[in-house]
Amino acid sequence: MRKKNLIGTASLIFIGIVFGAILVSGFGWVRPSYGDVKIGASKPPVEQLNADAAAFNNAFIQVAEKVTPSIVQIKVVSSSKKEESANPYHFFFKMPFGNEMPQEREGGGSGIIISEDGFILTNNHVIENATQVTVTLHDKRVLDATVIGTDPLTDLGVIKVDAKNLPAAYLGDSDQLKVGQWVMAIGNPLSLASTVTAGIVSATSRSININKDQYAVEDFIQTDAAINPGNSGGALVDLNGAVVGVNSAIATNGMTQSYIGYGFAIPVNLAKSVANDLIANGKVSRGYIGVSIEEVNASTAKALGLGEPKGVMVQSIVEGGSASQADITEGDVILKIDGKETNQPNELQSYVAAKRAGTVVKLTLFRDGKQIERNVTLKARDSKDSKPVEIASRMKKGKDLDAKEINFESLGMSVRNMNDEELEQYNVKQGVIVVDVKNYGKAFNQNLFTGAVIVSADRKSVNTVSELQSIFEKKKGQAVLLKVVDGQGNSRLVGLEIPQ
């Protein structure tokens, strides 16, 4: 009996050992409960960021936390007084809720709180023709807003809510922005409240010709921070949390109307000036120099005797404008304004647009091989002015006219003499007309076109093609400055390099 008990005990021990071995072996015959499974590694690959990486990461976090409460969501009921297609910004940012286009429609965008007592900066195209505006704050309060004023030429506007102690944003200095600098876009894209994206400043002083008004000011900051419909009026901020721009437009493929890589923001220095005027007066009292201007390229710089292509060239002077009373002349190159270099027409536009009528600015000019300075008192635009002011010249094509001609083959251009009827038609006293321009030739590359009239070359009047030919012969290997007039009376100066 005792022997049997020993055998039984030994058998039990043996079975226990075998069963334990099976559990340890991992044959999968007996599975532990899910609660006992350990998932993931026991520690992160990088247990602690180095100090620089941690500080960089925290900068984004802190800016998002501090600035987001200053950005609001705007809903607008607006009247359809004009077709939506007439508003170039409509499809970019003003989000419609519904597919129809009734007499009244609802849209939306973003805004930046700029004062503790309720003034909010946004885009003109967000609140244009508004009959009702409501604002949703970060703390989810919904308040009615009043439109204080708008400025279509800069696409900016100001609204106001009745509230106190609001978290006003800090408005920085957009003149200090550098290409490559990190920025964050904060707004309400696609009706997704309080969205933050990041990128860099891709370019500054960018003109995208979205606003076709001849007096429009386009001097955008370009960024690759993701911006989508609904971001309009939101903030572009640097890593100090300072607002450096007001998001306004996007590059789009024209079908989805969504972000495809780049967005554009209005510099905050311009926005501050416009906002102050709108709050004080309900409108902008903007000053103008009274000139039509164009970028200086290499050929024009050579023709002017300018060492390098820089500045913007005065193409024409508005009669009775500020420039006409300050010894500014056609062909002057504006190198600086108040000591600030200006190499693009929109850079000059933006700076002047931030100044009120009556302000005195100092222009540094290049004229006849010398630098000179002129003080100009900015004047308000006369509504009866028909010529562009502070805009790049845009000339339209005239008609082809047939007659005897000289072919300047090396320039890719043919010209001929004009008859009295044509001189009267173009309202010029003298000139020769361009009858052919070859694609991609020197004349073509300088935007000369069939139907343009050359009235002077090398600052000398041109009456016949022979006179023009003589001037070109003397300027071989150099460049000559031409004055050209189109069929609508617009004139521009253009440099043309003459081959040997």
User: Is residue 473 helix, strand or coil?
Assistant: helix
**Secondary structure letter of residue 324 according to DSSP:** G
Tally of CB atoms within 10 A around 442: 19
For 303, 455, 473, the CA distances from 464, given in Å and listed in that order, are: 21, 10, 14
Tokens of 2: 């005792």
* Residue 493: closest CA among 307, 297, 205, 327: 297
Q: Which of 202, 207, 232, 299 is catalytic?
A: 232
Exposure string of 463-496, with b = 16+ CB inside 10 Å and e = fewer, is ebbebbbebbeebeeebbbbbbbbbeebbbbbbb
Assess whether 155 carries a catalytic annotation: yes
Q: Which of 70, 90, 110, 155 is catalytic?
A: 155
Assess whether 219 carries a catalytic annotation: no
Please name the residues in contact with 482: beta carbons below 8 A apart, sequence gap of 6 or more: 448, 454, 456, 457, 493, 494, 495, 496
Assess whether 273 carries a catalytic annotation: no
Tally of CB atoms within 10 A around 369: 9
DSSP letters spanning 235-262: EEE-TTS-EEEEEEEE---SSS-S-SS-
**Which is it for strands 391-392 and 291-295: parallel, antiparallel or unpaired?**
parallel
Instruction: Determine the straight-line distance between the first and last CA of the chain, rounded to whole angstroms.
Output: 127
What single letter denotes the amino acid at residue 158? Answer: V
What single letter denotes the amino acid at residue 465? Answer: V
Q: Which of 78, 90, 125, 316 is catalytic?
A: 125
Residues paired with residue 206 on neighbouring β-strands, in sequence order: 220
Q: Which secondary structure element, helix H or strand E, spans residue 93, and what is its range? A: helix 90-93
Q: Could you list the active site residues?
A: 125, 155, 232
